[in-house]
Homo-oligomer: A and B are copies of this chain.
Amino acid sequence: MPDTSDIRPGEVAIELPGAFDAGVYFIGRIRTPFKTRADCPKNTAESRAIGRVELDPRYAAGLQDLALYSHAVLLYWMHQARRDLIEQVPAHLGRPRGTFALRSPVRPNPIALAVVELVGIRATTIDVRNVDCIDGTPLIDIKPYFASTDSVAGAKRP
């Protein structure tokens, strides 16, 4: 349950709906060198660490042909994050910003995405470069990265 004591001044919590609309399966885990949130790099650009995706054997056949791609998108479930903050005050910003303008793990659906380099694929494990999540994070999807649609090199940010 969210602990309201960890809200910073300026942050805004909302009441979430009383029921979920759909369910997700955890299809594996991501093993990384980062044992706590404090250990994690701020984002994948700061991390050249090698992580290992451990896929539940049930889904092993889903990796067929993934090695044809150099990069993939991992979607994972930030299981330690509260879900009810709609405005947050990042330490580097010092003032509130909307949750949908942040990549914080704290969001109504705590799903993160990371673009990773595929280093080695075996039966149910994948070694990847550029991981930033805590060791043991539940995996929910793997997608091939398509530069044609996923890469917008000139996208602007503040």
Contact = CB atoms under 8 A, between A and B. Distances in A.
Interface size class of A (residues with CB under 8 A): 35 or more
Contacts of A152: 70-71, 115, 145, 147, 150-151
A98 B66 contact: yes
Interface in A1-28: 12, 14-17, 20-27
Interface string A32-56: 0000000000011100000000000
A66 B100 contact: yes
Nearest to A138: B21
B109 A144 contact: no
A155 B96 contact: no
A141 B111 contact: yes
A42 to B, nearest CB: 10
A58 interface: yes
Contacts of A151: 150-153, 155
A146 B114 CA distance: 11
A135 interface: no
A20 B23 contact: yes
B61 A98 contact: yes
B153 A97 contact: no
Contact of A146 (B12, B64, B72, B103): B103
Given A61-B87, A103-B144, 18 more contacts: A12-B61, A16-B25, A20-B24, A22-B77, A22-B138, A25-B108, A25-B109, A43-B149, A62-B87, A62-B100, A62-B107, A68-B158, A100-B142, A107-B141, A108-B140, A109-B140, A113-B113, A146-B155
